Amino acid sequence: MSESKTPILKIVDGAKKPKSTKEAPVTKDQSRFMDYGILQGAFYQFKWTRDGESETQIPLCDFVCQIDEEITHNTGLEDKSILRVSGKRQDGLPLPSVDVPAKNFYATQGNWMNEAWGTKIFVFPGPSKKDNLRAAIHLYSKLNGDIKRRNVYGFCGWQKVNDEWLFLTGSGGITASGLIDDVQVDLGSGHMQRYTLPAPPNSQDVKELVSVVYDLINICPSKPHIGRALLSAVARAPLGECQATDFAIFIHGLTGAKKSEIAAIALGFFGD
């Protein structure tokens, strides 16, 4: 008479076997990071079969790309994160560097790859392909450490950077020790880009520039209060961070009285 197994042993026999710990062979064209890797110049996903005996290679696309840097654009009102991405197609064709809004990169339904590189690249269809491709790109970009990050400011005026107050201008940031150009300021392609200050003058140059200030004061000899008001406005403008400015001045006069020219001279204290 054959022995029958107890109910407990039957449960054990029917239990799912644990996943095999053996790894897939690594070849020269294969780089692995977690569940993803590069095979023959393209991103792949690697998954174990249900029985844990073998591993399947799932192609995600026909290219490899990486995030070169993360750029935060600070407009003074909001921060916008941009990812600069570049890559290479499976056949060696370079994929030019593109700026991708971070919200598009991380969007589940996003299609920034084809929007950036068009029909040059191919992403395999599937409900989770894009999510896995995004994860593969992110992990691959961090293989050598954290992704490079930098801030770009899109406005002029005071900003606290690394616990130090500095005055932003198109050429960088002005501190108590002078102009530092490692602070990046991008004022766009319009007239705002003309708000660019040079490095602060030395003591000798200041003496020579004082005469320019006197010229502004005396710009209307018969009405000296006009020059004084303009110079006061020039000096008051950078202090808005300390005390909010709740007023404005304007120059009133007949057509042809050189109002615009006089106003431009005052603006010249902050750029060309």
Query: Measuring CA to CA, which residue among 148, 131, 163 is closest to residue 45?
Result: 131
Neighbouring C-beta atoms of residue 184, cutoff 10 Å: 15
Query: Measuring CA to CA, which residue among 212, 209, 213, 193 is closest to residue 201?
Result: 209
Q: Per-residue pLDDT for the chain (272 aa), expressed as one digit of tens each?
A: 445 556 655 555 665 555 544 444 444 444 889 999 999 999 999 998 887 778 899 999 999 999 999 999 998 888 999 999 999 999 999 999 999 999 999 988 778 999 999 999 999 998 789 999 999 999 999 999 999 999 999 999 999 888 889 999 999 999 988 898 789 999 988 888 888 888 888 877 887 888 778 888 888 888 888 888 888 888 888 888 788 888 888 888 888 888 888 888 888 888 87
Measured in degrees and rounded to the nearest 5, phi and psi for residue 249 equal -120, 155
pTM over 0.75: no
**Residue that has been written with the tokens 């599937």 in this structure:** 126
Query: Measuring CA to CA, which residue among 43, 72, 24 is closest to residue 131?
Result: 43
Query: Measuring CA to CA, which residue among 223, 219, 225 is closest to residue 266?
Result: 219
Taking only Cα atoms into account, the Rg of the chain, rounded to an integer number of angstroms, comes to 31
For residue 121, the one-letter residue type is: I
Residue 58, both tokens: 């799932």
Environment class of 136 (CB within 10 Å of its CB; exposed 0-12, middle 13-18, buried 19+): buried
